[in-house]
């Protein structure tokens, strides 16, 4: 078979660097800050088992039959209701489509909006899953730098003025990889800027409810309404193995997302949608999420304490108020990729910064996940990293 | 928001005609031969409930955690083993990727192979889900007529000589919508023809095990080996609501399918993969499939008996040896779409032929599903259809 049989897009999709790293870290002896896994200790395994029994006992076949592309009605209602109750966003269930995690929502949005060469703005550094998903559609990606309080609006305006952007993709709370959140002012200014352009915002927000400090700022929907597409996920607040997330969009866009979803895989798992809904309405989900958030807050504190105790003072890092990641910036003469190689030798892993930058950069950055490992492993892993950093810094420059 | 924000491909995806029809037929009073639903009476609901309990009891978190893109290892092994045992196809588990039904396999294959304007050969009439899935990638579709024993090889050769085909898509057993199966001779001749061209075969085979008459012919892999991509599904033999199917390809192609799958939705539902595997190895699946096949054979007999008793003699139809559909050809002065409209008035539905033809045609054809309805409803539905046909034929021409 000739290579020319493949579509050209296969040359543009970056091979997942994290996937390659995860292979290195399959050894359970390795202390891994590399992945983006929730702590499985908090999975509601028994409650999900009860939900499975309840949904299947005496069932008429519906949980195992083909079902609607949009998703299970009561689950869509639950999501809309939760946006109203928790986020002050007024959504109709008709504006909610159930997807296989929010990763699939990115793919469906690209199917609907992105042709070859179309312009998309992303954050710099950007979420790797988004880079990978978008690249399939062969767009021009324009990374816009993140500041401490959100995207650099001057630079975003420059991109908007030069290119017809299909959308701006933002992980608006506890960004992956940087851990930063958009301030309320920044959101208002972003809305003000975007209101002059015919483009959309993808508000990708899987971590919103995992807040352990500070106060939530409103969704971009508050200002831009139907020009915002919301993406969310049950992966971080219930369990990722169910592969259930959602995308919310105004009806006109939704009708096209539904066609794209149908062409992609007809609909998401009927049984697990019903099980998840049963779990959500029969358990204290808020308390469950509070438990996870508190634990992740403690794990983040452990990590920061360990960094301050063991890493050189030249090392800078973000202090996320929620989510699963913090972002470290090494001194200029300390390369993250060399640190990574040495760290794997000492059985510690993280993600070096370069894959988060589609235009080069990130050589001195690294992403550290604090949600997956328990406290003593976090402390030990950071201690090892700190030792290697000190050795590298002690070399003649 | 300007319409120009949408990708051009959104203009080329046909809105699912079946989806529109299914809306008409949501009324449970309607006797529907329109959908492609398995008979829910045979869903192994209790066994799936037992599998859920077994997989989740004492689980370490793995069934609810992120997992590998390729799919659950033991399930991939089961699929490879079943191909060896039942079909004489020698496959390694490494050549199996778990997908969300075989619909997603079509999407992933297009991601890997199909660019805008690329040539694809499909059957005429073609499987609607494939037309819809392919259309997203804006290919040139070349429909090649089906004869009683499979595709018209002369016409396929003509397409192969004129176009660089990425692949030929075939539903090789009990085709949807026609019900026909490729004979062994036709398969050998198809392999002989294709061996001179650098192209692939998508052997889409969701119904293979639902045989109630005749003998199975070998897979195209027997002749063309790695140039055949196999698609299969648990939707028809276990339950569609689990959304679990598979695609098998040689390793070089598989590595690209995995990248496409990861970009699309990371991986399929971890929990249901484990539940399904537990169900498969702890139950007599062969007996279960034999029960379904026998029942569908009886339902098909009921439908054919009713057609012969109630429909005009001018009506022709296929006699599938398995699967879920038969294909009817009306006399030239009897339009399927008018019959459909009248039938809905009498609370019977089917799918008129036109959507199965991307180049026009099918005006006098219709697809009838026999797997979903029980015997008395089949007889009553066909009786009503026969009455309408007779009334239409009795009109002055």
Residue B385 has pLDDT above 70, yes or no: yes
Please write the tens of the pLDDT for every residue from A190-229.
999 999 999 999 999 999 999 999 999 999 999 999 999 9
Give the pLDDT confidence score for residue B16 in this predicted structure: 67
Residue B21 has pLDDT above 80, yes or no: no
Q: Which chain B positions have a beta carbon within 8 Å of A240's beta carbon?
A: 64-66, 270
Q: What is the C-alpha to C-alpha distance for residues A226 and A95, in angstroms, rounded to an integer?
A: 10
Give the mean model confidence (pLDDT) for residues B328-341.
Answer: 95
Please write the tens of the pLDDT for every residue from A299-313.
999 999 999 999 999
How many contacts, defined by CB atoms under 8 Å, are there between A and B? 246
A198·B1 Cβ contact <8 A: yes
Give the mean model confidence (pLDDT) for residues A153-174.
Answer: 98
Least confident piece of the model among A317-331, B19-33, B234-248, B271-285: B19-33
Helix, strand, coil shares, percent, chain A, to 5: 50, 15, 35
A100·B103 Cβ contact <8 A: no
Give the pLDDT confidence score for residue B320 in this predicted structure: 97
**Which pLDDT band, with edges at 50, 70 and 90, does A131 fall under?**
very high
Least confident piece of the model among A17-26, B85-94, B151-160: A17-26
A266·B114 Cβ contact <8 A: no
Single pTM value for the model: 0.97
Residue B259 forms contact with A (CB below 8 Å): yes
B100·A13 Cβ contact <8 A: no
Closest CA to B126 of B104, B151, B102: B151
Out of A57, A198, A239, the one facing B2 most closely (by C-beta) is A198
Closest CA to A17 of A337, A323, A292: A337
As a dihedral over the C-alpha atoms of residue A63, residue A68, residue B110, residue B100, rounded to 10 degrees, the angle is -10
Q: What percent of chain B has pLDDT over 90?
A: 90
Residue B46 has pLDDT above 70, yes or no: yes
Q: What percent of chain A has pLDDT over 70?
A: 98
Q: What is the C-alpha to C-alpha distance for residues B188 and B252, in angstroms, rounded to an integer?
A: 25
Q: Which chain B positions have a beta carbon within 8 Å of A198's beta carbon?
A: 1-2, 5
B227·A200 Cβ contact <8 A: no
Residue A133 forms contact with B (CB below 8 Å): yes
Give the mean model confidence (pLDDT) for residues B351-359.
Answer: 95
Per the prediction, chain A carries an average pLDDT of 95
B265·A99 Cβ contact <8 A: yes
Q: Chain B interface, mutation test: which of A15, A108, A264, most B Cβ atoms within 10 Å?
A: A264
Residue A387 has pLDDT above 70, yes or no: yes
Give the pLDDT confidence score for residue B77 in this predicted structure: 98
A199·B271 Cβ contact <8 A: no
As a dihedral over the C-alpha atoms of residue B384, residue B385, residue B388, residue B389, rounded to 10 degrees, the angle is -140
Out of A40, A226, A243, the one facing B268 most closely (by C-beta) is A243
Residue A262 forms contact with B (CB below 8 Å): yes
A240·B66 Cβ contact <8 A: yes
Give the pLDDT confidence score for residue A156 in this predicted structure: 98
Please write the tens of the pLDDT for every residue from B209-226.
999 999 999 999 999 999
A265·B52 Cβ contact <8 A: no
**Which pLDDT band, with edges at 50, 70 and 90, does B251 fall under?**
very high
Give the pLDDT confidence score for residue B147 in this predicted structure: 98
Give the pLDDT confidence score for residue A164 in this predicted structure: 97
Domains and CATH numbers, chain A: 3-43+287-392 (3.90.1150.10), 45-282 (3.40.640.10)
Please write the tens of the pLDDT for every residue from A4-55.
899 989 887 776 666 677 677 677 889 999 989 999 999 999 999 999 999 9
Residue B177 forms contact with A (CB below 8 Å): no
Q: Pick the residue with more confidence: A59 or B314?
A: B314
Please write the tens of the pLDDT for every residue from A44-63.
999 999 999 999 998 788 99
Give the pLDDT confidence score for residue A19 in this predicted structure: 67
Give the mean model confidence (pLDDT) for residues A87-110.
Answer: 97
A43·B37 Cβ contact <8 A: no
Q: Find the residue in B nearest to A68 (Cα).
A: B19
Out of A1, A111, A113, the one facing B5 most closely (by C-beta) is A113
Please answer whether residues B135 and B112 qualify as being in contact, where contact means their C-beta atoms are separated by less than 8 angstroms: no
Question: What value, to the nearest 5°, has the Cα angle with vertex B102 and ends B195 and B157?
Answer: 25
What six digits make up the tokens of A317? Answer: 């890092």
- A182 to chain B nearest CA, in Å? 25
Give the pLDDT confidence score for residue B350 in this predicted structure: 95
The residue whose two tokens read 């599904």 is B233
- A242 to chain B nearest CA, in Å? 5
Q: At what angle do helices A270-282 and A45-56 cross, to 10 degrees?
A: 120
Residue B195 forms contact with A (CB below 8 Å): no
Please write the tens of the pLDDT for every residue from A221-269.
999 999 999 999 999 999 999 999 999 999 999 999 999 999 999 999 9
Please write the tens of the pLDDT for every residue from B162-188.
999 999 999 999 999 999 999 999 999
**Which pLDDT band, with edges at 50, 70 and 90, does B3 fall under?**
confident
Residue B178 CA, distance from chain mean position: 11
Residue A62 forms contact with B (CB below 8 Å): yes
């Amino acid at each position: 078979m000739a290579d020319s049989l493949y579509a050209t897009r296969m040359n543009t999709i970056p091979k997942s660097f994290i996937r390659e790293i995860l292979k290195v870290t399959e050894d359970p002896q390795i202390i891994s800050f590399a992945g983006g896994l929730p702590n499985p200790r908090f999975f509601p395994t028994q409650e999900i088992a009860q939900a499975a029994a309840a949904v299947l006992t005496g069932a008429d076949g519906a949980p195992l039959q083909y079902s609607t592309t949009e998703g299970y009605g009561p689950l869509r209602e639950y999501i809309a209701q939760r946006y109203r109750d928790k986020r002050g966003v007024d959504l109709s269930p008709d504006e909610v489509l159930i997807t296989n995690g929010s990763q699939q929502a990115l793919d469906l949005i690209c199917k609907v909006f992105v042709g070859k060469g179309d312009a998309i703005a992303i954050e710099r550094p950007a979420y790797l899953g988004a880079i990978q998903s978008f690249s399939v559609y062969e767009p021009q990606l324009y990374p816009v730098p993140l500041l401490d309080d959100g995207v650099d609006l001057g630079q975003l305006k420059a991109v908007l003025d030069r290119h017809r952007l299909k959308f701006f993709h933002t992980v608006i709370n506890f960004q992956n990889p940087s851990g930063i959140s958009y301030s309320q002012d920044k959101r208002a200014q972003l809305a003000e800027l975007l209101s002059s352009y015919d483009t959309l915002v993808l508000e990708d927000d899987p971590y919103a409810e995992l807040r352990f400090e500070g106060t939530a700022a409103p969704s971009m929907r508050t200002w831009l309404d139907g020009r915002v597409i919301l993406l969310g996920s049950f992966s971080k607040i219930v369990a990722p193995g169910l592969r259930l997330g959602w995308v919310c969009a105004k009806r006109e866009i939704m009708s096209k997302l539904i066609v794209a979803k149908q062409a992609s895989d007809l609909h998401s798992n009927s049984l697990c949608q019903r099980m998840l809904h049963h779990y959500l309405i029969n358990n204290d989900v808020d308390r469950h999420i509070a438990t996870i958030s508190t634990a992740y807050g403690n794990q983040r504190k452990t990590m920061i304490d360990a960094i301050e105790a063991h890493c050189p003072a030249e090392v800078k890092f973000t202090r996320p108020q929620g989510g699963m990641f913090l972002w470290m910036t090494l001194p200029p003469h300390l390369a993250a990729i060399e640190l990574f190689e040495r760290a794997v030798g000492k059985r510690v892993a993280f993600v070096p910064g370069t894959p988060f930058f589609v235009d080069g950069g990130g050589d001195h950055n690294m992403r550290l996940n604090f949600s997956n490992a328990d406290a003593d492993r976090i402390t030990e892993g950071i201690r090892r990293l700190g030792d290697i950093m000190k050795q590298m810094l002690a070399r003649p420059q």
